[in-house]
């Protein structure tokens, strides 16, 4: 695995961004991960990951329009780059290959 391959949490953030399409900014990203993984997530941790993903060029950011609910501040929207998608796909492939043939282990477990 190369050094820039996303870790588990980074993958979750990337996937959340993909699911949210053009609605992907801080608040719903956190909500989406919480909802789907059923685990508590620290907001600050998500921001840290977003910064890292930007640095690795796996996502890009753009500013939206200011809204009054945000005290006149704009939203910061994120989009997964092609590189980001490729990295995600590679991680998925690697994981699936590792899981190959191990499905019976999961029988009887709630998956």
Partner 1 sequence: MAGGRPPAWAVGLLSRIVPAAEREGVLGDLEEVWRSRYPAGGLAGAAWYGWQAVSVCFSLLLSFDDERLTNHGGRLRPSIGGGGGFMRTIGLDLRYALRGLRLAPGFTVVAVATIALGVGANTAVFSVVDAVLLRPLPFGSPDRLAVLWETDPDRGRKRVSPPTLIDWQEGQRTLSGIAGLTEEKWVVTGDAEPQVLSGAGVTPDFFRVLDVRMIAGRDFEESDDVVGAEPVALVSSGFAMSRFGSVAAALDRTVRLDGSPVRVVGVVPSEASYPAHADVWRPLTSSIGGGGMRARAAHILIAVGRLRPGVTLEQATADLARISAGISEYDGESAELQSLHSWVSGDVKTALLVLLGAVGFVLLMACANVGNLFLVRATGRTREVALRSALGASRARLVRQFLVESMTLGALGGAVGTALSVWGVRLIAALSPTELPRRAEIGVSGPMLLFAAGVTLLTGVLVGLASALSGTRLDFTGALKEHGPASGAMRSNRVRSALIVAEVALSVVLLAGAGLMVRSFLTITAIDPGFEAAQATAFRISLPAWRYPEPTSQTAFFNQLLERVRRMPGVTSAALSSNMQMGGSTMTTPAKIEGRELEGALASLSVQVSSVSPDYFKAMGIRLLEGRTFSGADRNGSALVAVVDSEFAYRFFPDGRAVGKRARTSFGDPVMKEIVGVVASTRHRSLTADAPPYFYTPMAQSEWGFAWVVVRSTGGSAGLIEAVRAAVRDIDPEQPIQQVATLSDLLARSFARPRFQAELLGGFAAAALLLAALGFYAVIANATEQRRHEIGVRLALGAGRRDVLRLTIGQAMALTAFGLAVGIPGALLAVRVLTSLLFRITPTDPTTFVAVALTLVAVAALASWLPARRALGTDPVRALRE
Residue numbers of the site for partner 1 (CB under 8 A)? 3-5, 7-10, 12, 25-27, 37, 39-45, 47-52, 61, 63, 67-71, 73-76
Least separation in angstroms between CB 81 and partner 1: 17
Task: Give the separation between CA 2 and CA 100, rounded to whole angstroms.
Answer: 22
Least separation in angstroms between CB 69 and partner 1: 5
Least separation in angstroms between CB 104 and partner 1: 25
Between 63 and 89, CB nearer to partner 1 = 63
Query: 28: Cβ–Cβ under 8 A, 6 or more apart, which residues?
Result: 16, 20
Query: 43: Cβ–Cβ under 8 A, 6 or more apart, which residues?
Result: 26, 30
Between 103 and 111, CB nearer to partner 1 = 111
Task: Give the separation between CA 111 and CA 95, rounded to whole angstroms.
Answer: 16
Task: Give the separation between CA 76 and CA 62, rounded to whole angstroms.
Answer: 6
Between 15 and 49, CB nearer to partner 1 = 49
């Amino acid at each position: 695995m190369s050094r820039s391959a996303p870790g588990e949490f980074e993958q979750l953030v990337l996937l959340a961004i993909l699911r949210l399409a053009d609605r992907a900014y801080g608040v719903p990203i956190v909500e989406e991960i919480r909802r789907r993984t059923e685990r508590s997530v620290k907001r600050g941790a998500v921001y840290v990951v977003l910064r890292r993903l930007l640095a690795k060029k796996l996502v890009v950011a753009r500013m939206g329009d200011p809204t009054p609910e945000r005290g006149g501040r704009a939203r910061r929207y994120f989009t997964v780059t092609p590189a980001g998608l490729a990295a995600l796909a590679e991680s998925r492939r690697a994981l699936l290959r590792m899981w190959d043939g191990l499905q019976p282990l999961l029988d009887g477990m709630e998956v």
